[in-house]
Amino acid sequence: MGVGFSRDGDVAVLTIDNPPVNAASHGVRAGLIEALARAEADPDIRAIVIACAGSTFVAGADVREFGQPPREPFLTEVCAAIEATPKPVVAALHGTALGGGFEIALAAHARVALATAQVGLPEVKLGLIPGAGGTQRLPRLTGMSAAVDIASSGRRVGMAEAQALGIVDRIVDVDLLAAAIDHARSMADAPPAGPSHMATGGQVGDCVPPPLTPPHKGEGDLTTAFPDKNGDDLRSKRLQAGSPPPCGEGSGVGVASNASAMPARRGRGGPKGRSGGSPSPYAIPHVAIRRAGGLAVQPFDADAVEAQIAAIERKARGQISPGRAARMVRQAADLPFAEGLARERAAFLDLLASDQAGALRHVFAAERLAGKVPGLDGVEPAPIRTVGVVGAGLMGAGIAACFADAGYAVRVVERDGAAMQAGRGRIVALYERQIQSGRIDRTTADTRLTRLSFGAERAGLADCDLVVEAVFDELAVKQELFAALSGIVRPDALLATNTSYLDPDAIASVVANPERVLGLHFFSPANVMRLVEVVRAAQTAPRALATGLAIAKRLGKLGIVSGVCEGFVGNRIFTAYRRACDFMLEDGALPHEIDAALEGWGFAMGPYAVNDLAGLDISWARRKRQAATRDPAERYVSIADRLCEAGRLGRKSGKGYYAYEDGRRTVDPIVTDIVEAASREKGIVRRSIPAEEIVGRVLATMADEGKKILDEGIALRASDIDLVLINGYGFPAWRGGPMYLAGHR
C-alpha cells in the first residue's frame, strides 16, 4: 500500500493505493514525494497524473494518525512539491476528494474528474481548518465568497458546481484515467507561459483549460451555466470578475467516448492507459500550466464578505473552526501566498490542540463505533424493497418521504380517504418546500413522488417487506394496529413502531412471530433529523436489528441501538433534563432565562423553545396517563399543566411558554405570573439563578441519567448517549456530549 508508479508513454501515472479510502497516511505522503522526484528526474517523462485505485480519490487524513506525533513529510510539503513540479501535474478525481485529498488536487496544475465525484474541506467538522493550503489556494480559483462558504461549511461540492467555480477543469462520464493523461499531455505540449510564479509571485499561464463536458443525463449541458443561490450564473460571474477565460472557449470542442468509466485499478503495476502514440478521443487544444498558488484573488466586495463571515460565526454558536476557516480564506487576498500558508498552518496546529477539536474527534470516533453492535457480526440484514407507512400526519409524512428519498417503494395507509388525501398533501408540500429552498429540483421531487402510493385499506400492505407505524401514541391504538398487521403481512415481514415512550414489548405481545418487531424511533421532522433510535425489544431477532441499522444507514441517518425503557435513551434523558429545568423555574429562573443560558452555551434551542415547537399537549397527555401511578412524595412541577389548561399549547396555538405574534418568539408576562404563582404556592423563595449554574445543573442531570441508562444496559456505550443528545436534541457537537464532558471534568 502506498503510491505506485507507471507510464503511459511520456506521462507518469502515480497511483495512490491505500484502502479503503486512500487516506493521506505517512506512506502515501512519502510515496508521493518519492514518485514526484522520480518523474521529475526522468527526461522522457513530460507530464504527471495523480490518480487513486479503488472507489475514491484521497478521502482525507488517516484517522489512525490522530493523536500521534506528526511524521515528515507533512502534507503541506507534499502539496508544495506537487505545485512546484516543473512538469504539468493533473489530478484525476473520482469518488470523494475531501480534506487533504482536495488539497492535493488543488496543488495540482489541473483537475479532471468523473461527473459523479465530489470535493470538499470538511476539517471544520473536526474542529480544525484546512492545514495544507486549502484556505489559500481555493479562493484563488473560485473567488472569495464561494471559498469562504466551502471552507467554513465543510459541505461537499458536486462537479457541476465545481466546474462553474473554476475548481475542476474537465468533467468526463467515462474513462477518467485516459482523459487525465491526455489533459496532462496537452499541457506538456503548450508553449511556455512565462517565468515561474514560484519565483516571481505572478501568475503562470493566462488561460483556463476548456470545460470539455458533454451534457450529463438529467443535468443538462454543464458547460453553459450553473446558478448560485441567487440564481446567477457562477461561470459568468467569474468571467465578469476578471477570472481568466477558458482556453478556446466557444470552440465547440467536446468529449465523445463509449468506453466504461474506470478509475485506476489496484495492483502493483498501477493504472493502465493507452500507448503514447495511439490517437486519443480526448485530444484538446494545448493548455498552459496553471498553479493556484500563483494566481491573484479576484476583486470582491469586502463588506459583503465581512457580513458573510459574521453570519457564519453567529451560526456556529460558539464553535470556533467555521469562523477561523472563513477568516483564513479572507486573508488570502491580503497576504503573500507563502505567508498565508504559514498562518494557515499555525492556525491549524493551534486548533488541533484545542478542547473543541478533541471533543469533535470523540464524536467522529463515536459514530464509527456506533454501528458495531455485539452479536451482529456476520448477520445479514433482510432485503427491504417495499415499505409501508401507517399514518401520514406530520411524523408519518416525514417518514414516508425519507424512504421515498432513499429509493424504496412506499405504501402510505391512512384511516380513511380524507386523512389519506391530507397525508398526501403534506408530503407534496414537503417536497414543494424543498424545491423552493433549492435543495432539490422539480424532476427529483417528481421522481420521489412516483415511489409513493396512497390508500385507506390496510390490505394494501400485504406484500410490504417492512411496515412502520406512525399512528397516535396510545398503547391500545398501536396494539390494535399490530394485531391486524400480523394477519395481513407475510410472516417474515418486519414491523416497526415509531413510539416515543410506549413499551415495544407490549406492542409486540399481540404479534405472531414477535421476533420481527423492533422500534424505529425517528425524530421530528423525520425527513430532516439525522437520528434514529433502533430499539431492540425483548424478542427482537438479530436479523431484525441488523436490518433496522442497515435501513437507517440507507436513509442517510445515524442509527443508535437502544434497549427498552420509557423514552428509550434520548427522551428519557430529555425528561430528566426538563425536570431539572422545571425545578429551576420554581426556584427562581424564568423560561427565557433558562433557554438563553443553554443557547448561549451552544444548544441549538433551549428546552422551552423546543417544547413550544413540538407542542405541549403531547407531554401533557403522557403526564395525565401517569398521574395515577405518580409517587406523591416526588417533587412535581405543575407549570406546564397550567399552561396547557390555559390553552397555551405552543407555536401551533400561538402561545405556550412564549407568545408568538407574527411568528416571533417573545417573552409573555402571563407566563411569568404563572411561574411565580407556582413558587408562591409551594412556599419557595425565588432567587436569581446565574447562567453558569443553569448549565451546570443541566449537564450534571444528563450525565447522571446517562449513567443509569448504561448501568441498566439500555445503551451499549457512553458515546452512543452523546450521539443521541447531539443528533436528536441540539447538544453542541463541539462540546462532545454530556458523557464525554463528565469524563473530562
Cell (9 digits) for 88: 504539468
The residues pairing with 496 across neighbouring beta strands, listed in sequence order, are 468, 518
Nearest residue to 401 via CA among 349, 355, 445: 445
Compute φ and ψ for 714, nearest 5 degrees: -70, -45
Cell (9 digits) for 349: 496546529
Nearest residue to 57 via CA among 13, 114, 121: 114
What distance in Å separates the CA atoms of residue 356 and residue 481, rounded to the nearest whole number? Answer: 47
The residues pairing with 170 across neighbouring beta strands, listed in sequence order, are 112
Distances (CA, A) of 553 to 178, 406, 461, 559: 34, 10, 23, 7
Helix (H) or strand (E) holding 521, with range, is strand 517-522
What distance in Å separates the CA atoms of residue 714 and residue 701, rounded to the nearest whole number? Answer: 17
Q: Is 533 helix (H, G, I), strand (E, B) or coil?
A: strand
H helix and E strand count, the chain: 28, 19
* Neighbour count for residue 206 (Cβ, 10 Å): 12
468 Cα distance to chain centroid: 25
Compute φ and ψ for 341, nearest 5 degrees: -60, -40
Compute φ and ψ for 443, nearest 5 degrees: -60, -45
- Residue where the block lists cell 394496529: 481
Residues labelled catalytic:
103, 123
What distance in Å separates the CA atoms of residue 103 and residue 113, rounded to the nearest whole number? Answer: 15
Cell (9 digits) for 489: 403481512
Q: Is 410 helix (H, G, I), strand (E, B) or coil?
A: strand
Pairing label, strands 47-52, 89-93: parallel
* Max intra-chain CA distance, the chain: 94
What distance in Å separates the CA atoms of residue 220 and residue 214, rounded to the nearest whole number? Answer: 9
* Region of residue 647 (phi > 0: left; psi between -120 and 50: alpha; otherwise: beta): left
Cα atoms found within 13 Å of the Cα of residue 390, Cβ hemisphere only? 28
b/e burial code for range 419-457 (CB count within 10 A of at least 16 → b): ebeebbebbeebbeebeeeeebeeeebeebeebbebeee
What distance in Å separates the CA atoms of residue 208 and residue 108, rounded to the nearest whole number? Answer: 13
Sign of CA dihedral 736, 738, 740, 745: positive
Compute φ and ψ for 391, nearest 5 degrees: 100, 125
Q: Is 710 helix (H, G, I), strand (E, B) or coil?
A: helix
What distance in Å separates the CA atoms of residue 705 and residue 733, rounded to the nearest whole number? Answer: 19
Q: Is 633 helix (H, G, I), strand (E, B) or coil?
A: coil
Question: Cβ(591)–Cβ(585) under 8 Å?
Answer: yes
